[in-house]
Amino acid sequence: MKKKMFPTLIVDNFFDNINDIIKLSKKFKYIPPNKNQNWVGLRTESIHLNHYEVFNCIILKILNYYFPERRVMYGSSFIHFHKLSPGCKKRKGKTPGFPYHRDRSPLTGIIYLSKGDMDMGTTLFNNKKQQIVVRSDLNTLLCYDGDKYHGPTTLDVKKERLTMNIFIHKINILKDA
């Protein structure tokens, strides 16, 4: 069976309660990547471990954009709060061209939780050519196929960039009974 490719999706005003989500982000401990992880900045553990209802609502809302009026199940998915701070640099010895990369999830998303600009946004590539640059607008969801080459537009951020990174695996559309 051919792999499903997800179209790129941008949703403004994703959360009705953005300030509550930002407050929630402050309750977590942020940690750097370990030597086997190829990302920069600081990230929390997945929110499903302590805030499953919030986690589940976010995943189901995203899946509803792709599969409206369908029953969908998911598994092995993660949502992390993520920070990039001024002075954040690429880790030595990692992938050439980093921070651009592909994810291991079929569907990847990012929700911007701080005000930003084009430089603080995300760049998506098609055949290693820049295709889309999305501005880091507060409370905007960017969702795309995890196999798409992508990354933060720049690591040279002038102020903190707070996002929610979403990785959705094992998506199953259920047949109606």
| Per-residue pLDDT tens over the stretch 123-164 | 898 887 888 999 999 999 999 998 888 878 776 777 888 999
pLDDT digits (tens, 9 = 90+) for 27-81: 999 999 888 877 788 999 999 999 999 999 999 999 999 999 889 999 999 999 9
> The dihedral of CA 32, 36, 37, 40: what is its sign?
positive
What global pTM score does this model have?
A: 0.89
Using only C-alpha atoms, what is the Rg of the chain? 16
Q: Cα dihedral sign for 110, 116, 118, 120? A: negative
Residue 71 CA to residue 63 CA, distance in Å, equals 9
Phi, psi of 24 (to 5 degrees): -60, -40
